[in-house]
Amino acid sequence: MFDLSDHVSIVTGGNGGLGLAYCRGLVKCGAKVAVWGRNEAKNTEAIAELREMGGDVEAFQCDVTDEASIAAAFAQTLERFEKVDSCFANAGGAGFRGMSHQVGRQAWLNAIDLNLMSVVQTWAPVTEHMLAQKIPGRLIVTSSIAARAGSGGAAGYSTTKAAVIGLVQALGVELGQAGIRVNAIMPGFIETEMSLDTSQAFQDAAHRRSAIGRIGELEDMEGIAVFLASRQSDFMTGQGVVLDGGASVFPL
């Protein structure tokens, strides 16, 4: 059912963490993958791993906060793969930490640039390509359960991850009749470098709140990437899919 042969995906931040997990799932189902990442060394390592799995993959250096860098990476992707069927806007970051009223305007603007405008800028040329080529494409963004639950001391992260849900809903309406589906993945606590760069108390709470008795592993993210990239998700758009081991419904 989930055969992605002849499918081409872009995964921003695909050289590590959640992005690399998406790439693994896509490659396992036959997709060709363009990894966009800033760190050349990490790009090289990721590509080596994915090719060892049999993947037809390429890495392109890209800073998703820079429109010129995005344009160059997209042109290189088309030159290499000729088309794009899905784009995972995964690159982003935690942003500032601290009391929101104390961090200042620039810290807020940086968070917006990193986690919201990067998605808008990444999807712009991809959407134009899909519309021009009449590709029933897939736009997927990595949001977070923090978009719903909030995250004290990291208001910029929660706010921008909520903002991309609004973007997904709006673009789902805008692009639906063109055959383009737009959805968000909303992970809970998954073992990544970013999530483990938190307090022990926070990590302990994540374990306690899991309805299934464990926190998320990177392998848990592979299937949702494949589903949202595939035609099996054709009746789904404008949605945020929560993957949190039931933490958001588990009573304290």
Residues with a catalytic annotation lie at: 157
Neighbouring residues of 184: CB distance < 8 A, sequence distance ≥ 6: 140, 141, 142, 143, 164, 165, 168, 239, 240, 241
Q: In this structure, are residues 130 and 84 in contact, taking their beta carbons and an 8 Å threshold? A: yes
Q: Which of 8, 181, 5, 4 is nearest to 84 (CA)?
A: 8
Residue 212: which region, alpha, beta or left (left: phi > 0; alpha: psi -120 to 50)? alpha
Burial degree of 252 (CB within 10 A; 0-12, 13-18, 19+): exposed
Token readout for 128 is 């134009």
Structure tokens of 110?
Answer: 């940086």
Quickly list DSSP for 130-196.
HHHHT---EEEEE--THHHH--TT-HHHHHHHHHHHHHHHHHHHHHGGGT-EEEEEEE-SB-SHHHH
